[in-house]
Structure 1
């Protein structure tokens, strides 16, 4: 049982509300997230049009959603690191750099998936 003591549907409802709050916070505070959302929104119709099968459409869209997921996780790591302290710390810098590297890899995956699905 979680801290709230809620179970079942009330717990899921509360978790959903927290998730929406997290998305709003990322939209307000993270420029990279906003740019990636706009890119995903622009590419989604293209993915649905270009994907010949359900699997192809899923791969094209999934690569876009993965970028958003990784960006949210990176932003969460950065928020926790900044909460601990803003002074320079080697481990804090390493955590932020590793999160940034994860975002980079997810971004690089998009053209690879799109190339392989559409031209492979």
Structure 2
């Protein structure tokens, strides 16, 4: 069975996708404390990257790793919501899925620290 939303094309598809993306960002901001914390971190680090005396490539890298952590948090939250939608009962596979999503976010946060440290400290 195919989704009734898959038949959309052109501008209507783009507008629908933009609305879904907005809804996803709003849901993450409302329901996920970790997303709000990362958004706040980005609110500090991204503008800071433009005030630092670094090359354009380094600046792009500083901003990219911050945004990547937001992307990973959105995916982690989606994994958690999907697992919870399937069942709230404890299961080893559910635990593995949630733990791996959390591990991905830990790696992304470590990457922020590592990249910013390398760029700023040389």
Question: TM range, normalised to the smaller chain?
Answer: over 0.9
Name the structure 2 match of 1:3.
4
Unaligned runs of 5+ in 2: none
Normalising by structure 2, we get a TM-score of 0.93
Distance 1:73 1:56 in 2: 26
Q: CA shift at 1:2, angstroms?
A: 6.3
Alignment of 1:91-102 (within 5 A): 91-102=93-104
Name the structure 1 match of 2:87.
85
Distance 1:115 1:26 in 2: 28
Distance 2:89 2:54 in 1: 51
Of 41, 44, 53, the residue aligned with 2:43 is 41
Name the structure 1 match of 2:67.
65
Alignment of 1:13-28 (within 5 A): 13-28=15-30
Normalising by structure 1, we get a TM-score of 0.95
Q: CA shift at 1:3, angstroms?
A: 2.8
Q: CA shift at 1:42, angstroms?
A: 1.1
Distance 1:23 1:45 in 2: 20
Classify the secondary structure of the residue corresponding to 1:6: coil
> Which 4+ residue blocks in structure 1 deviate beyond 4 angstroms?
none
Unaligned runs of 5+ in 1: none
CA contact (8 A) 1:51 1:118 kept: no
The CA RMSD measured in Å over matched residues stands at 1.4
